[in-house]
Amino acid sequence: MSLHCDIIGFDTETEKLKQIKDMIKIQQNFACRDMFTDSVVSAALQNISFGYLCLEDRYSVMGFIICRVTPTKDACSIELICGAKGYGLGTTFIELVEADCKSLGIKMMQLYAINEAPLIAWYQSLGYKILNQVYTSSGEVKAQNMYKFL
């Protein structure tokens, strides 16, 4: 599938990082399909080490991935990944991030995935394994803590 947007990489040294963060905050409901609250997106943006953004027409955020590298630089956590329906951005974002991590010598990827069977199966198809589960206060599984060695 060819992408209908421009993929832009960013990190903490990016000159326009504040503008990128603001664009994500303003347009996150569309890119995340209304799945996350503003506080979830804001928390991910505070922990950023690097990420990618998909822009259509220079200003429309179609998706993004936000990553945090551990202080020991041996693991990378995908803090948040969102993509507008029909763009197929998930695989593109994961491939870009994993390639960056390999080039940095990072050995492990980690993420929390919403507990939806198709999403968990997709991550598993990319080589991610379930480490443990996160539960709601009522005892239901809320998310899966997943990892992959690079």
Residues 150 and 136 grouped into a single domain: yes
Residues 1 and 51 grouped into a single domain: yes
Q: Evaluate whether residue 76 is within a structural domain.
A: no
Q: Evaluate whether residue 40 is within a structural domain.
A: yes
Per-residue pLDDT tens digits for 28-56? 988 888 888 889 999 999 989 999 999 99
* Domain CATH number, residue 46: 3.40.630
Around 67, how many Cα atoms within 13 Å sit in the side-chain half-sphere?
A: 27
Global confidence as pTM: 0.92
The pLDDT assigned to 1 comes to 47
Residues 88 and 19 grouped into a single domain: yes
Q: Evaluate whether residue 77 is within a structural domain.
A: no
Quote the domain boundaries for residue 113: 107-150
The pLDDT assigned to 55 comes to 93
How far apart are alpha carbons 134 and 145 in whole angstroms?
7
The pLDDT assigned to 2 comes to 55
The pLDDT assigned to 9 comes to 96
Q: Evaluate whether residue 126 is within a structural domain.
A: yes
